[in-house]
Structure 1
Amino acid sequence: MKIQIIFPVLALAFLDPASIAAANDLKPATFCRFVQERQDDFAWENDKVAFRAYGPALRAGKENSGIDCWLKRVPYPVIDKWYTENKKGKSYHKDHGEGYDPYHVGSSAGTGGTGIWLDGKREPLETFTGYEVIESAPEVSRFKLSFEREIGGVVYREEKTITIRLGERLFEARSVFTRDGKIAVGLPICIGVTTHDGKAEASSNTNEGWIACWETIEGSGLGTAARMEPSRISEIKEVESDERDQSHIFLIANTNDDGAIDYRAGYGWEKAGEITTREQWETYLNEHGQRDAD
């Protein structure tokens, strides 16, 4: 199944209702869809983790290309259920037994959000301007998000293809960048994980190619991370800032001859039961080698 909708800000459309209904089955499955009814979110999940990115309706706000974590602790899809119940007053910011969304993104990179690395700082592209669902099936879901922003008179664009597979805590991402419409070879890119203004404890492993944070949110531990092929990393940098949402740990890498970078990102939540300590989270990252290659 391939559903392609590349839209201007004011010309949005819903996915086919049959595709949405199929995701309500309580069997473990991957799932993704555009959520126009919640200010143009795009959300995706599998049996372990769930995420969302922000779309055109929030383009004038503080949100950008950062990625939000939805903390789930059940193996079946929850995206449609949580959005539907939230509209009826049952907030997904409170855990009713399946998980919830306590993770703050704001203007940060969240978990695995990218940016142009200019003059020693992250310059994020704005919220996505278009999407394409390539596949949404029980074993794997794949889609594209398009981002852009003019910075210093230059128009940067990113086309990010995200793949999420059943059983994996890290989604796969391949981002292709252009600069004024031309493939951006050797462009410095940062992949960030927010430290939530220093509340999270950051760590990294250069040999294994990952950055990570461990923090406690409302009494429960959360590990977040991003990783890439170690040989592609030019620098790992932790940035502290007095400005809200600007403290991160970053992977910094240059795009290849195709203007692309490949990476993975995701989380492990203590309340879900499988990852309960920082040590377990870092062991997970060490044992799950980089699968993307240029």
Structure 2
Amino acid sequence: MFTKLKWKRVDEGMMMNSASYWRFVSYSVLATTIVCGMLSISALARPGLSDKPSFTKRVGRVTHTGHRSDGFVKKRSERRVKVVVTNPAGFSRESETVEINLSQIAKWLHVQPAEGEVAVVDSESGRILVSQIYSSQPGRPPDRFIFQVNLGPHERRVYFVIRASKLSTPPKFTTKTFARFVPERYDDFAWENDKIAFRMYGQALMTAPGDALTSSGIDVWVKRTHKLIVNEMYSSGHYHDVNGDAMDDYRVGTSRGDGGLGIWNGKKLFVSKNYHQWRIITNGPIRSVFELTYDSWNAGNGRTVSEVKRISIDAGSWLCKNVSIFESNKKGPLTVGVGLAERSCGPDGCEVIAQNKREGWMTYWQPEDKPKGIIGVAIVLPKGSVERFTNDNPNLPDSVIHAAVPQPTVEGAPPIRNLLAITKVKVGHPLTYYFGACWNKTGDFVNNAQWDDYVARFAERRDRPLKVRLIKE
């Protein structure tokens, strides 16, 4: 068991070449227009560049921004909201999402809380950042405004939220997250970001001719491209190609896959069937959110349980957020097992599993599927919430654990049991945790130590969130 891990910078982000120039709205009356050259910008420098050329000129602490065509002149009477973001930790934050109450901003700026009404600007660079507005409850007005930042250790940075109507041209952002219902493949539900992709199974799959499967486990699709691949994968039907940019080499079966759950009675894991209902909360350049509803299932001892699972995925992250709310015919707390599918490691292999009970995380570096590579998976529960780590078949013979698996496999080695993190949750209360995966073929994580370090640092970020302060100006 790990008690202390040393962090290693393993994912420095994707380098981008962008003909991006910088616009910033200030209290100055003057707008200056010049032609700027091409820039090569690291993703670590600032995320979310606008494709619109602009120019930045500093005068003291005020930044004046001009544009090649007509520029923009900010009047002294214009309102803006100052957003002060501070990193309280002694490590860097990369592609970290800042979430703000939209209604407060809209009130201060005298705009409607709606898409396209506001924009966010980095005060130092003058750059318009990628942002997203959405409603956390469909059918209601938007209430979330998010953007992403990169901050050094203990760094404090200032951003301004302004009226988007004051920009000469609305910025266009590249979409880096996506989620959708897939009726053409037995009601799958799939989602992804610029790093990794996942799917879960709908009820149509339970009766699919020759392909029937009853499972609420989470499937993983790996990719070595930053583009979105879900639609392309379903369109081509080539899920298991060895040499493609994306691939399904993670067999779920009836296991928990990568972060699925069940109700644990100390010996057996009681799991639901395939999801019954779905709804999309938002799709956007930074975040996709959706819900899946699971009908009531037998949880043992005369108890039945149903679940609504809300999953969100942010750009730049290898992990998703899961919030599950359970209903039951009994009021007592539920014991839940969150799992990772385990594979045979071969006659001469060893299991590469890391667990940190205090910090609430577990990783599993799967045996290699030659020549397809290695998939690493992980779950991160709230700090101090894990009662113990176990599995749902402790008496599994070594002959199964060390069984030879012919390679390459068609869609990954079959699961042999579930590795479990055991926790408790009250009925009607949210159970929040994270799950995710990586692929060594991307070059971001070439060994288990790097993956463990990333997950350990993710847990540290969970416990030391960014500090955000809003100031009306």
Residue of structure 2 in register with 1:236 after alignment: 389
Contact 2:175–2:284 (CA under 8 A) maintained in structure 1: no
What is the TM-score of this pair, normalised by structure 2? 0.53
2:326 is aligned with 1:168: no
Aligned residue type for 2:424: N
2:84 is aligned with 1:84: no
Q: For 2:429 and 2:262, how far apart are their aligned partners in 1? A: 14
Quick one: structure 1 residues 104 and 292, their matched pair in 2 at CA, closer, same or farther if it must change by over 3 Å?
A: farther
Residue of structure 2 in register with 1:214 after alignment: 365
CA deviation after TM superposition for structure 1 residue 101, in Å = 0.3
Residue of structure 1 in register with 2:376 after alignment: 223
Quick one: structure 1 residues 32 and 113, their matched pair in 2 at CA, closer, same or farther if it must change by over 3 Å?
A: same
For 1:46-57, list aligned pairs within 5 A.
46-57=193-204
Contact 1:262–1:292 (CA under 8 A) maintained in structure 2: no
2:286 is aligned with 1:139: yes
Which ranges of structure 2 fall in alignment gaps of 5 or more residues?
A: 1-133, 139-172, 401-413, 465-473
SS at structure 2 position matched to 1:291: helix
Residue of structure 2 in register with 1:256 after alignment: 426
Contact 2:267–2:392 (CA under 8 A) maintained in structure 1: no
SS at structure 1 position matched to 2:450: helix
CA deviation after TM superposition for structure 1 residue 245, in Å = 3.4
CA deviation after TM superposition for structure 1 residue 291, in Å = 3.0
Q: For 2:327 and 2:365, how far apart are their aligned partners in 1? A: 33
For 1:41-80, list aligned pairs within 5 A.
41-60=188-207, 61-80=212-231
SS at structure 2 position matched to 1:188: strand
For 1:111-126, list aligned pairs within 5 A.
111-126=258-273
Aligned mate of 1:276, from 446, 449, 456:
446
CA deviation after TM superposition for structure 1 residue 257, in Å = 6.1
Aligned residue type for 2:305: Y
CA deviation after TM superposition for structure 1 residue 40, in Å = 0.6
SS at structure 1 position matched to 2:384: helix
Aligned residue type for 2:291: K
Q: For 2:234 and 2:263, how far apart are their aligned partners in 1? A: 32
Query: Which whole-Å deviations, capped at 9, do the CAs of 1:77-115 have from their partners, x for residues lacking one?
Result: 1000110111xxxx1211443120011000000000011
2:165 is aligned with 1:30: no
SS at structure 2 position matched to 1:217: coil
- Would you tell me which structure has more strand in proportion to its own residues? 1
The alignment's C-alpha RMSD in Å is 2.6
CA deviation after TM superposition for structure 1 residue 166, in Å = 0.3
CA deviation after TM superposition for structure 1 residue 196, in Å = 2.0
Contact 2:335–2:423 (CA under 8 A) maintained in structure 1: yes
Q: For 2:257 and 2:308, how far apart are their aligned partners in 1? A: 18
Contact 1:185–1:258 (CA under 8 A) maintained in structure 2: no
Query: Which whole-Å deviations, capped at 9, do the CAs of 1:187-228 have from their partners, x for residues lacking one?
Result: 001100011245653221123211111121233122101011
CA deviation after TM superposition for structure 1 residue 172, in Å = 0.2
Seq. identity, %: 31
Query: Which whole-Å deviations, capped at 9, do the CAs of 1:136-173 have from their partners, x for residues lacking one?
Result: 11100000011124315543101000010000100000
SS at structure 1 position matched to 2:288: strand
Which ranges of structure 1 fall in alignment gaps of 5 or more residues?
A: 5-25
Q: For 1:59 and 1:259, how far apart are their aligned partners in 2? A: 29
Please identify, of 77-86 and 54-63, the stretch whose mean Cα deviation from structure 2 is larger: 54-63
CA deviation after TM superposition for structure 1 residue 238, in Å = 3.3
CA deviation after TM superposition for structure 1 residue 236, in Å = 1.2
Q: For 2:416 and 2:247, how far apart are their aligned partners in 1? A: 24
CA deviation after TM superposition for structure 1 residue 275, in Å = 0.8
Residue of structure 1 in register with 2:356 after alignment: 205
Query: Which whole-Å deviations, capped at 9, do the CAs of 1:39-62 have from their partners, x for residues lacking one?
Result: 110000001110000001123544
CA deviation after TM superposition for structure 1 residue 261, in Å = 1.0
Quick one: structure 1 residues 148 and 185, their matched pair in 2 at CA, closer, same or farther if it must change by over 3 Å?
A: same
Residue of structure 2 in register with 1:14 after alignment: none
Q: For 2:462 and 2:286, how far apart are their aligned partners in 1? A: 17
CA deviation after TM superposition for structure 1 residue 27, in Å = 4.5
Aligned residue type for 2:341: T
What is the TM-score of this pair, normalised by structure 1? 0.83
Residue of structure 2 in register with 1:288 after alignment: 458
